[in-house]
A and B are shown apart, each in its own frame.
Chain A
Amino acid sequence: MFDILSRIRRTGRLSEPYPVPDTDQTASTAIQRELHAVFGRALCIRHVDAGSCNGCELEIHALSNAYYNLEGAGIRFVASPRHADVLLVTGPVSVNMEDALRQTYEAMPDPKWVLAVGDCAVCGGLFGANYATRGPISAIVPVDAVVAGCPPTPLAIMRGLLQITSKRPA
C-alpha cells in the first residue's frame, strides 16, 4: 500500500488544470470549461467503430487518461445506445457494419446527434468506397458534426464535441 501511495504522490496531478475564471487557460482547459458549462454532467456518448483501422479508437481511449480527463468534464462513454445523447462514429462504414451502425442509431432516444470522427468517417479517407466500404458515415446516418484528422488528436475530438453543443436546442 505504501508503494502505491508514494507513487501517487510522486506522480502528482496530471490533469490539465480545471478551469478557473480569469486565469490563463490552455486550449485543453478552455474546452473542458465550455463542455462543462453546456452539458453539466449529462452528456453520454455511444461509440461505434464502423470499420476503422483502430487508430481513431486509440485517441478516443486517450480522452479518458489523466491528461484530458474527459470524464472529469462530465462526458461519459456509455454501454448502451439507449443511454446516449451523441453517437460518435469512426471508420469508413464497412458493409459488414452498415446494419449494426443503423440499428445503433435507431436505438438512441431523441434528441440525438452524430459526430463523425476521423477522415474515414468524414469522407471515406484512404479507403474510399468499394465493394466492402460505403465511404463517409453520412451515407448511412445523418451527421451533425465532423472531426477531420487521421487520426484526429484528443483535443480535436473535444473541439468536435463542442461543435455539437451549438446545435443543442436551448
Chain B
Amino acid sequence: MNPMWPDFLDTECVPLPSNVAACRVQVDAARWCEAADAMREAGADLLSLWGSDDRDRDQCLRVHAAYLLRDRVVVVEHAMPADRPIYPSLATRFPAAGRLQRATYDLLGIRADAGDMRPWLRHGGWPEGVFPLRRDVAATQTWPVTSSPYPFIPVSGDGVHEMTAGPVHAGTIEPGRFQLAVVGEKVLRLEVRLGYTHKGIAKRFEAMAQCDAHRLAAHICGDSTVAFSWAYCAALEAITASTPSPRALVLRGLALERERIANHLGDLGGLANDVGFAFGQTQFSSLKEQLLRHNAELFGQRYLFDFVVPGGVASDLPARALPGMLDEIAALERAVGDLRGIYARHEGLQDRFLGAGRLTPAQAAALGAIGLAGRASGVARDLRVDQPWSPYDQSSPALATSTEGDVAARVQVRFEETLESLRLCRQWLQALPAGERVCEVPVAPAGQLGIGLIEGWRGPVMLALETGPAGGIRRCRAHDPSWQNWPLLEVAILGNIVADFPLINKSFNLSYSGHDG
C-alpha cells in the first residue's frame, strides 16, 4: 500500500449505495487535504466537487469531493460552520477543482481558501452575496440582470492581439465565450468562459419527486440523455435496493451504446466538414439520421429521452425488431469500416488531423483528463472496462486508446469505439435475456445518499442523489465530464493556428449545457 495512504480512508469509510463500488468519509480540514494528497498520489481522478446547505440539519455547510479510484468511488465530505464556510482549495492538486470551486461559491457561498476567485456561473443574473442554492432562497425568486463584465486574464506583448468569439457563435452550437490571444496566426493563449446555459437545474431538482426527476436528469445534456437518466435511476435504485431485470439492464445498455454511436457518427462527419471534406459529413450525417429514425421506430424516440425510467425502461423491444437491428449493425459496421479506410487514405484530411490540437499524455495526466479525450491522450480508462456495472460486467468491452493526443487520435478513438459499441449491441441482441420491463421502486426514506456513475460517450457521468422527506429530493448533483475536459482545450490549442480552432474544439466536442447545469 502506498505510504501516503492515510488509514482513515479505509477505516472510516462507510459504503454508499451505487451501481459501482462507492463509499463516503467525513473529514476535517486537515484530513480534507490529506485525502486529496493521497488521492493524487494514488492516481485517482477528481470526479466532481459540490456543496450542500445543511444548516437546517446541523448548522453546517458542506463541501463534497468525489474521487474515482481504479476500483471504487470515494466521496470525501467536509462540514464547515455556517458563519465561516471556507475550505482548503484542491486546485493545485486537481486543476479541474478550480472552476468547480468557483461554481460552488456562486451557488452556495462556500469558498475555497485560495486560487481564482472570479465568479463562474454567476454572470450578473443574481446579486453578489445571494447564493441561490441555499435553502432560504425560494425556488421561484428571480432578480433582474445587471451587467457584469468578466475580467479575462489580459495578455500583452509585442504583436499580440486578442480575439473574442461568442457567446453567440457563427454556427449552430451552444453558447460559450472564447477569448483568444494570437501572434500572427498562432494562438498564444485561450481562455474559455462558460455558464451561459446555467438553468438552475440543481435547484429545480429539489422541487421534484424522486419518482419523476429522471425526466429532468434526461435534459441536463441533450446529447447524453441516456447516460444522465441512467445515472439518476442507478442512484435511486441503489438507495431503494431495487434491481431492474437483466432484460431492462441490457435494453439500457443498448440505448447507451446507440447514444454513443449516434454522437460518434455525428462528430466523425462534423470533423471532416471542418476541414472541407463535405463527403465525410454527408456520409456520416446520413448514417446518423438512419440510426435516429430506427430509434424512433424501436423506442418511439429519436434521441431516447425518457427511455430510462426508475426500475427499468419505458418500452420493451418486440422480438420481431431483432433481425432488423442485427442487419442495421452489420450495415453500419461495413459503412464505418469503409469510411475509416477512406479517411485514412485521404491525404488532405490527414494533413489537417495529424498533429493538430495535441494534448500529450503528460499534460493529460497532469490536468486530470477523463473520458474520450483522456483516452486519446493515453489515459487508458473507461468505466465500462474498469468498473463494469450490469450489463457491462457480462460483456467485457475493449478499451480504445491512443497516445498521440491530436485530432487524429480523437478521430481514431471514435472510430474504434463505434465499432466496439456495435459489437456490444450485437452480442446483447443475440442473447437478449428475459425479464420485466420495469420493477417497482419504493419511495426512499429521507437523508439517503446514492451515487450513479455511467460512462457516457464523453466520459463518466456522475450523479449524487440525496433523498428528502415524503418522496422528495434534498440535493442532487449531476456532473458532466466536460468540467474536467474544458481546460484541456485551452492547452491543446496552444501554438496551433487560429483557423484550426473550430476543428480542435470539435474534436473534443465538450458539453456546455451539461457543464453549466
Instruction: Evaluate contact between B199 and A11: CB separation under 8 angstroms.
Output: no
B140 within 8 A of A: yes
Instruction: Evaluate contact between B196 and A133: CB separation under 8 angstroms.
Output: no
Known contacts A95-B125, A99-B147; A51/B142 CB under 8 A: no
Among the listed B195, B204, B219, B338, which residue makes an inter-chain contact with A96, where contact means beta carbons less than 8 Å apart? B195
Can you identify 21 A-B contacts, CB atoms within 8 angstroms? A14-B286, A49-B175, A52-B513, A54-B511, A55-B222, A57-B174, A61-B266, A61-B285, A67-B289, A79-B170, A95-B126, A95-B143, A96-B121, A97-B196, A127-B199, A127-B219, A130-B140, A131-B132, A131-B143, A131-B200, A132-B199
A165 within 8 A of B: no
Instruction: Evaluate contact between B285 and A66: CB separation under 8 angstroms.
Output: yes
Instruction: Evaluate contact between A151 and B125: CB separation under 8 angstroms.
Output: no
Known contacts A62-B292, A104-B168; A52/B174 CB under 8 A: yes
Which of A59, A77, A131 has the most chain B CB within a 10 Å cutoff?
A131
- Count the B residues whose beta carbon is within 8 Å of the partner chain — how many? 62
**How far is it, in angstroms, between the C-alpha of A131 and the C-alpha of B108 when the chains are bound?**
13
- Residues of A contacting B279 with CB < 8 Å? 4, 7-8
A94 within 8 A of B: yes
Known contacts A62-B289, A65-B285, A153-B302; A52/B132 CB under 8 A: no
Among B82-90, B249-257, B311-319, B339-347, the stretch in contact with A: B339-347
B94 within 8 A of A: no
A42 within 8 A of B: no
B159 within 8 A of A: no
**How far is it, in angstroms, between the C-alpha of A51 and the C-alpha of B121 when the chains are bound?**
13
- Residues of A contacting B216 with CB < 8 Å? 126
Instruction: Evaluate contact between A48 and B195: CB separation under 8 angstroms.
Output: no
**How far is it, in angstroms, between the C-alpha of A125 and the C-alpha of B215 when the chains are bound?**
11
**How far is it, in angstroms, between the C-alpha of A134 and the C-alpha of B123 when the chains are bound?**
15
* Distance (whole angstroms) from the CB of B215 to the closest CB of chain A: 7
B141 within 8 A of A: yes
Known contacts A98-B145, A130-B139, A151-B303; A51/B196 CB under 8 A: yes
Among the listed B172, B203, B286, B338, which residue makes an inter-chain contact with A57, where contact means beta carbons less than 8 Å apart? B172
- Residues of B contacting A50 with CB < 8 Å? 175
**How far is it, in angstroms, between the C-alpha of A96 and the C-alpha of B341 when the chains are bound?**
44
**How far is it, in angstroms, between the C-alpha of A25 and the C-alpha of B216 when the chains are bound?**
38
- Residues of A contacting B132 with CB < 8 Å? 131-132
- Count the A residues whose beta carbon is within 8 Å of the partner chain — how many? 53
A92 within 8 A of B: yes
A91 within 8 A of B: yes
**How far is it, in angstroms, between the C-alpha of A142 and the C-alpha of B132 when the chains are bound?**
29
A60 within 8 A of B: yes
Known contacts A55-B219, A94-B196, A96-B198; A150/B305 CB under 8 A: yes
Instruction: Evaluate contact between B221 and A53: CB separation under 8 angstroms.
Output: yes
Instruction: Evaluate contact between A130 and B286: CB separation under 8 angstroms.
Output: no
**When each residue 329-345 of chain B gets 1 if its CB lies under 8 Å from chain A and 0 otherwise, what string results?**
00000000011011001
- Residues of A contacting B145 with CB < 8 Å? 95, 98-99
- Residues of B contacting A159 with CB < 8 Å? none
- Name the 8 nearest CB pairs between A and B, nearest first: A55-B222, A95-B125, A132-B200, A79-B170, A54-B222, A65-B285, A53-B222, A131-B132
- Residues of B contacting A92 with CB < 8 Å? 199
B171 within 8 A of A: yes
**When each residue 71-106 of chain A gets 1 if its CB lies under 8 Å from chain B and 0 otherwise, what string results?**
000000101110000000001101111111000100
**When each residue 482-517 of chain B gets 1 if its CB lies under 8 Å from chain A and 0 otherwise, what string results?**
000000000000000000000000000001111010
**How far is it, in angstroms, between the C-alpha of A98 and the C-alpha of B285 when the chains are bound?**
32
B155 within 8 A of A: no
Instruction: Evaluate contact between A60 and B172: CB separation under 8 angstroms.
Output: yes
**How far is it, in angstroms, between the C-alpha of A58 and the C-alpha of B175 when the chains are bound?**
14
Instruction: Evaluate contact between B345 and A3: CB separation under 8 angstroms.
Output: yes
Q: Which residue of A lies closest to B144 (CB)?
A: A95
Known contacts A8-B279, A49-B174, A126-B219; A132/B198 CB under 8 A: yes
* Distance (whole angstroms) from the CB of B500 to the closest CB of chain A: 18
B201 within 8 A of A: yes
- Residues of A contacting B221 with CB < 8 Å? 53-54
**How far is it, in angstroms, between the C-alpha of A81 and the C-alpha of B516 when the chains are bound?**
25
**How far is it, in angstroms, between the C-alpha of A38 and the C-alpha of B399 when the chains are bound?**
52
Among the listed B121, B175, B198, B222, which residue makes an inter-chain contact with A151, where contact means beta carbons less than 8 Å apart? B222
- Residues of A contacting B140 with CB < 8 Å? 129-130
A128 within 8 A of B: yes
**How far is it, in angstroms, between the C-alpha of A79 and the C-alpha of B320 when the chains are bound?**
46
**How far is it, in angstroms, between the C-alpha of A3 and the C-alpha of B342 when the chains are bound?**
7
Q: Which residue of A lies closest to B137 (CB)?
A: A131
Instruction: Evaluate contact between B283 and A51: CB separation under 8 angstroms.
Output: no
Which of A49, A100, A134, A151 has the most chain B CB within a 10 Å cutoff?
A49
- Residues of B contacting A7 with CB < 8 Å? 279, 283, 338-339, 342
